[in-house]
Amino acid sequence: MTVQTLRPPQETTVVVAMSGGVDSSVAAALLVEQGYHCIGIMMRLWAEVAPGQGSANRCCTLEGVEDARRVADRLGIPFYYINAEKPFKRHVVDETFIQGYASGQTPNPCLACNRHIRFGYLLGYARALGADYLATGHYARLRRQPDGSVHLLRAVDPAKDQSYVLSVLGQEELRQVLFPLGEYTKEQVRAMAADRGLPTASKHDSMDLCFVADDYRRFLQAWAPATMQPGEIVDRQGRVLGRHGGLAGYTIGQRKGLGISGTARPLYVLALDPEHNRVVVGPQEALGRDRFTVEQVRWTLDRPVAPGTRAQVQIRYRGRSAGCTLELESPERVQVLLDEPLRDVTPGQGAVFYDGELCLGGGLIARER
């Protein structure tokens, strides 16, 4: 990928968000090779850990910090490790993760992290340094238009496409970010790392919830015990079928672990009712929904689509896209009318809209009242 810039690379400063992984390492290497003045920065993110110990957050382990530093040394660029624990704890852990579960949702912390931390806090830090761009190792593409706007596109590698979690970005952010890996597959990125002798070439990807050391339910029991209060499991008619150990331990579409026996048909979680601390279950066919509401919508082009726009919607990070029509209640609230019913439409998860490879924006699936 060659970055389109109004100035020569030698006069352009890029802050590279480094994690100690192969993706950010190769992103930095490609930009250095193109002649950009790069600065490597890694963020220390909050995790529950005893005082005096290193961070247990999987995105910034001590090993990861050392790997990022070694990559920066090999590339000949400065490297800084900055503290972002407080904003991460507030925006991602408290306001998204804990409050999401407390309101009967299944939150997606990665969306909040990208909006508030990586492309909020860190992008602001890069601007304060006088940098022209912030670059990351995300798999997505940017297409800069003649009118100055920037289109966010899916990555070439569909198996690694991360436009879903980047849908929170608007034009202010997109004009100042770079995604050097969007034109490559993961296999090509690993090969490039090996060819350049980068110490992260064979490092495995981290896919777990980064700030929780083990089981998220144990975490919630410790930090938000109100989300793990026992209650009733009921059917759609309100008949009590069993007991649950806390609403946060369940999600829409779940079948296993309900602890209900003696029913004629398998039962699935249909809804979470935080007002009455109930898990509502029913047959599989009751999971299908042909419409749902998306709130807190952000549009990548800073303007909403026209009412009745045809699009595709993706309701899981690795989920398939489904055809739909978008009906706007307001710029921030959209009714999604599906061509065919989808199961497992889960409040709190992201719903991201596409026009082919172009990411239009997205928001959070609202809970039905």
Nearest to 295 by CA among 247, 367, 369: 367
Euclidean distance between CA atoms 344 and 137, whole angstroms? 30
Residue indicated by tokens 């699009």 = 311
Q: Are strands 13-17 and 133-135 parallel, antiparallel or unpaired?
A: parallel
Which among 1, 15, 32 is positioned nearest to 176, based on CA atoms? 15
Angle at which helix 22-33 crosses helix 62-75, to 10 degrees, equals: 20
Of 38, 113, 324, 359, the catalytic one is: 113
Q: At what angle do helices 22-33 and 186-195 cross, to 10 degrees?
A: 60
The answer to whether 113 is a known catalytic residue is yes
Q: Residue 143 in contact with residue 2, Cβ under 8 Å?
A: no
> Residue 184: what are its φ and ψ, rounded to 5°?
-120, 160
User: In this structure, what token pair is assigned to residue 43?
Assistant: 């963020």
Annotated catalytic residue, options 38, 59, 60, 210: 210
How far, in whole angstroms, is CA 310 from its chain's centroid?
24
Residue 110 annotated in active site: no
Residue 141 structure tokens? 């593409």
Q: Which residues are catalytic?
A: 113, 210
